[in-house]
């Protein structure tokens, strides 16, 4: 394959009400006139850092594609006298809770979507973090079901909000995975979640705008724009997030 000049890749994740865009040059080539930093060999630290970043973005996209503002970040804790004897037992209790919830949802003809991770606190007590949809109608009430099926301790409901919450939760979930790695901890999810797939475009241009223009009906989320340089290849890249303009008038200017 010959040297490619005057093009770059554009990757788009369309998550419904949010789009994530990344622009980058083919790793071996770059583009004429584009300043390139020094290239170096990837270290184990580089690989670990990139893997963590990729996993955070994957979880973030799962949240964005399947949950919305007003859904729940649910924390399930234990009373002191009902704490499980092991991490394994705590996860077994969580599976039972999820199974009970799923049965009621299925009976109501509603898919039960969730993401969960189990954490051990500073004092050694386990608790569970979940992201679930909030449904409240005549056939099913999520909050009432949680209160019914989690009998081991407190149930803490935190409504999701758009600005920063989804990113922070994804980072938190991956952080807890790393913390509990020796226990075999990883986030789990329902199998009915939408798995976002990117659209890839080859853009025949030498470079991109440092200040991208949003698509009509969308705005670029404040502080999401990053113009950076790949520390390994030395090539520049850009990524940012666009959000659909709220018909009520929110354009992200506040």
The yes-or-no verdict on residue 102 having pLDDT over 70 is yes
- Joined tokens for residue 3: 């040297």
pLDDT at 222: 85
The yes-or-no verdict on residue 3 having pLDDT over 50 is no
The yes-or-no verdict on residue 27 having pLDDT over 70 is no
pLDDT at 233: 82
Q: Does domain 70-159 have CATH number 3.30.1340?
A: no
Q: Which residues of 129-156 are buried (b: 16+ CB within 10 A; e: fewer)?
A: bbbbbbbeeeebebeebbeebbebbebe
108-136 pLDDT tens trace:
999 999 999 988 877 778 899 999 999 99
pTM of the predicted protein model: 0.79
Task: Pick the closest to residue 155 from 167, 142, 146 (CA basis).
Answer: 146
DSSP 78: -
Question: Which residues, at least 6 apart from 82, have a Cβ–Cβ distance to it below 8 Å?
Answer: 152, 153
| Distance, CA of 55 to chain centre | 8
| Sign of torsion over alpha carbons 143, 147, 152, 158 | positive
Question: Which residues, at least 6 apart from 136, have a Cβ–Cβ distance to it below 8 Å?
Answer: 142, 143
Question: Which residues, at least 6 apart from 53, have a Cβ–Cβ distance to it below 8 Å?
Answer: none
The yes-or-no verdict on residue 39 having pLDDT over 70 is no
At residue 185 the predicted structure's pLDDT band, cuts being 50, 70 and 90, is low
Q: What's the CA dihedral at 131, 223, 229, 43 to 10 degrees?
A: -30
- Joined tokens for residue 234: 């030395």
pLDDT at 134: 95
Angle between helices 165-179 and 44-66 (to 10 degrees): 130
């Amino acid at each position: 394959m010959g040297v490619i000049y005057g093009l770059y890749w554009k990757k788009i994740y369309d998550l419904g009400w949010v789009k994530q865009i990344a622009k980058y040059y083919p790793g071996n080539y770059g583009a004429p006139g584009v300043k390139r930093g020094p290239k170096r060999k990837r270290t184990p630290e580089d690989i670990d850092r990139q893997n963590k970043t990729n996993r955070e973005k994957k979880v973030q996209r799962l949240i964005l594609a399947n949950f919305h503002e007003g859904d729940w970040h649910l924390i399930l804790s234990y009373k002191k006298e009902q704490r499980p004897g092991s991490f394994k037992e705590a996860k077994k209790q969580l599976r039972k809770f999820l199974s009970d919830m799923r049965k009621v949802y299925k009976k109501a003809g509603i898919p039960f979507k969730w993401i969960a991770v189990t954490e051990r606190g500073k004092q050694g007590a386990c608790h569970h973090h979940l992201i679930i949809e909030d449904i409240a109608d005549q056939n099913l009430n999520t909050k009432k079901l949680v209160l019914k099926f989690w009998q081991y301790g407190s149930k803490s409901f935190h409504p999701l909000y758009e600005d920063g919450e989804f990113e922070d939760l994804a980072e938190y979930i991956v952080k807890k995975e790393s913390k509990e790695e020796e226990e075999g901890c990883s986030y789990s999810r329902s199998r009915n979640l939408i798995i976002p797939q990117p659209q890839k475009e080859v853009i025949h241009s030498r470079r991109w705008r440092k200040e991208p223009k949003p698509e009509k009906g969308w705005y670029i989320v404040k502080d999401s724009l990053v113009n950076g340089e790949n520390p390994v290849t030395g090539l520049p890249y850009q990524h940012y997030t666009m959000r659909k303009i709220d018909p009520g008038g929110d354009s992200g200017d506040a």
